[in-house]
Amino acid sequence: MGTGEEVVDRGSGGPARTELRNRVLSLPTERIPLGAVRSERRFQLRSHLREDRLEELAASIQLNGVLCPPLLVRAGDGYEVVAGARRVEGARRAGLETIEARVFDRIEKAEGILLALSENLFRDGLSRFETALACHRLSRELNWPYARISEATGLRGKTVQRLIAIIERAGGVLKDALDRGLLAYSQALPLLRLAPEKQDGIVRAAIANRWGRRRIAAEVRRSLREERKARGEALAALVGELPPFVRAWKATGNDGFLLSLPFRSREELLERLNVLTATIRKKPTVRGASADRRRGVPTGGRK
C-alpha cells in the first residue's frame, strides 16, 4: 500500500533493534497456559483482529501448531502479550490449552512497542495505520524525535514524519477508512491539507467512487480554492464595514489585508482601537485553513 517512498528499510534497523532482536533470541521458549495470558493491550499495535484472518490462523495452527513463539512478559501471576496477539488468539480458537512462548521477566514500554512494531513490520497483516499509531506513541508518549524512531524501526525519516502527521491531522472518518483498509496511506496524504471536518466528504466520495490519489488531490485543491474564495469574500465584507479612519489594502503575496490606523495621541489611539474592536466583534469570525495545512504535510518538525 502506498509508494516506494514509504517502504521499510529492512536492514538491521540500527543498534537498538539489533540489541532487542538478540535479546529475544537469547530467551528460551516456555510452555505457557493460555488461560494465564491476559488480554491487556499495553503493547499491542493492532486496532482490531480480523475475524477471517483469525479463523484461517486457527485452522493452520490445528494442522501445524504455532510455528513462531509469541513474545510475552510476566505480569503478576499471569502474562501479557508483547508481540503475537493473533497467534495467541488463534491458538485459543484452535482449542489449545498451552502455547510455546518466549517470556520476558520485565520489559520497558519503549522496548515493548519497538518489539511489537519491529516484528509486525516483517509479518503480513499490520496496516500502515497501525504502524502510524506505533510511531505516534513513540513520539508523544516517550518523546522520541523522528530520527530516533527512524533508526530504531528501520522506517525512513520522511515516512515516520508523515505517519505521525496522519495520526495528528486526520479526522475520524479518514482514520476509520485507513484502519479498515478502504483508503491507502498514499491516498490520505493530500487530505491532510484540509481541516478534519473538510476531509469527510472527500473521503466518502473517494471510497464510493474508487478515486485514486490524483483525483483525491484534485478535489483537495478545489476545496482549498473554494475556502480561499469564501475567506476572501468574508474579509472584503469585513473591510467594507471598518470605521472611516481605518485605511485597508490587499497584502502582496497572500489573501490578507493590511491596515493603517492614524492617531495623534495615546487617548485617540485607545479610542479608535476600542471602536475598531467593537466593529470586528459584531462580525462572524473569519476562519480558514492554517498556514501549515495550506502547505500540506510539514517538512520540518522534531528532528
Confidence of residue 216 (pLDDT cuts 50, 70, 90): very high
* Neighbour-count burial of 274, counting CB atoms closer than 10 A to its CB (0-12 exposed, 13-18 middle, 19+ buried): exposed
Mean pLDDT of 154-179: 90
Mean of all residue pLDDT scores within the chain: 80
- On the question of pLDDT at 38 being above 60, the answer is yes
The residue with greater pLDDT, 7 or 258, is 258
- On the question of pLDDT at 6 being above 50, the answer is no
- On the question of pLDDT at 36 being above 50, the answer is yes
The residue with greater pLDDT, 281 or 22, is 281
**How large is the greatest C-alpha to C-alpha distance in the chain, in angstroms?**
91
Residue 146 near residue 113, CB atoms below 8 Å? no
* Dihedral sign from CA coordinates of 8, 65, 113, 152: negative
Predicted TM-score (pTM) of the model is 0.61
In this prediction, residue 282 carries a pLDDT of: 78
- On the question of pLDDT at 100 being above 60, the answer is yes
In this prediction, residue 259 carries a pLDDT of: 86
- On the question of pLDDT at 123 being above 70, the answer is no
In this prediction, residue 192 carries a pLDDT of: 93
List domains and CATH numbers for the chain. 4-123 (3.90.1530.30), 241-286 (no CATH)
Least confident segment among 82-91, 130-139, 258-267, 289-298: 289-298
Nearest 5 degrees, angle CA 106-CA 108-CA 112?
95
- On the question of pLDDT at 220 being above 90, the answer is yes
The residue with greater pLDDT, 174 or 67, is 174
Mean pLDDT of 52-78: 86
Number of Cβ atoms within 10 Å of the Cβ of 216: 21
